[in-house]
Structure 1
Amino acid sequence: MARRPDAFGTRERRVRVLGGHDVALLNGPVFLVGLFYAVSPWVLGFAAAHHDLAVHDLVVGCAVCLLTVGFTVAPERMTGLSAALGVTGLWMVFSPWAVVRHPGRAAAVDGVVLGVLALVLGLLSTALVRRANRLP
């Protein structure tokens, strides 16, 4: 990295993004939201009635967990994807009605509550990353 002409600028940006990386504090809650979203059809008992929604929740929950693992393992490379968490949260809010016609109370509340949590955490993560990138 020292041989690159912009090595100092790259190193400085990395230190700035990771040094003020308050986003790391969000990784735990985001991982838990994704994990619960993945297993919630079986925990809340709507997996048998809505198999398609159960598979959907499992896939989306695993995707959120994978995003979180990426944020933890390589935060300097994943900061651009912090907005994807917010978009995923928005999808989680509306997906019970998009995947099945009548999702039932447990599936609807699960999607809305966890989706709003993911949306808020995604927006907060995006704001923190932007603030860290703007610092001199």
Structure 2
Amino acid sequence: MSYPHHSSEMGTHPEIAEMRERLERAASGKAVIIEGLIMLAGIYAAISPWVMHFSGAEPNLTVNNLIVGLTIGLIGVGLAMIPERMLRLAWLAIPLGIWLVISPWVVTTGHGARAGIIWSNCVVGAVTILLGLAAMGLTIGVANRTRR
């Protein structure tokens, strides 16, 4: 009795095709969660100046958070709407998250930001960094699956 050892024959086996489909469905479910969380992190970063009551002393930080938050939110929307094109841009969430963490010290000139503002930016920045890494992990997984 001879068993086939050729890899292309194994790749066409019905059980492997079914298993591959289940893995892709599971990965897409994770992607939906990550995309949604990236979008929510961006929305929070954009509205945080009003949620955390940034005073008039931090107008630069208000504008900074609004722009960076909208950018992160648009990345999340793009990942949800056209993932095949946006997955390669998922890494942009990481430097934007890093910027959110350091911006209270960089953007405020001469005076420091209040502790609540710093904590808000650090938490949403850290969450954005982690979500960006998770999105990159999905990107690498999708790239590896398409090569096979």
Does the alignment reach a TM-score above 0.5? yes
For 2:59, the equivalent position in structure 1 comes to 51
Please say which structure displays the higher CA radius of gyration: 2
Shifted more, 69-78 versus 95-104: the winner is 95-104
The normalised TM-score by structure 1 is 0.81
Instruction: Give yes or no for the alignment of 1:103 onto 2:113.
Output: yes
For 2:89, the equivalent position in structure 1 comes to 81
Aligned mates of 1:71, 1:33 — CA distance in 2: 14
How well do the aligned residues superpose, as a CA RMSD in angstroms? 1.6
Identity fraction in percent:
30
Amino acid at match of 2:138: L
Aligned mates of 1:25, 1:38 — CA distance in 2: 20
Aligned mates of 1:89, 1:23 — CA distance in 2: 19
Aligned mates of 1:53, 1:46 — CA distance in 2: 8
1:2-81 equivalences under 5 Å are 20-21=27-28, 22-81=30-89
For 1:4, the equivalent position in structure 2 comes to none
How far off its partner does 1:47 sit?
4.1
How many equivalent residue pairs? 120
Question: Contact 2:36 / 2:80 at 8 angstroms: preserved in 1?
Answer: no
Runs of 4+ in structure 1 displaced over 4 angstroms? none
Shifted more, 24-33 versus 62-71: the winner is 24-33
Aligned mates of 1:129, 1:78 — CA distance in 2: 10
Unaligned 5+ runs, structure 1: 1-14
Report Cα offsets for 1:69-106 as digits up to 9, x if no partner.
11111100001101111121111111111101411112
Choose the corresponding residue for 2:131, options 108, 116, 121.
Answer: 121
Amino acid at match of 2:83: P
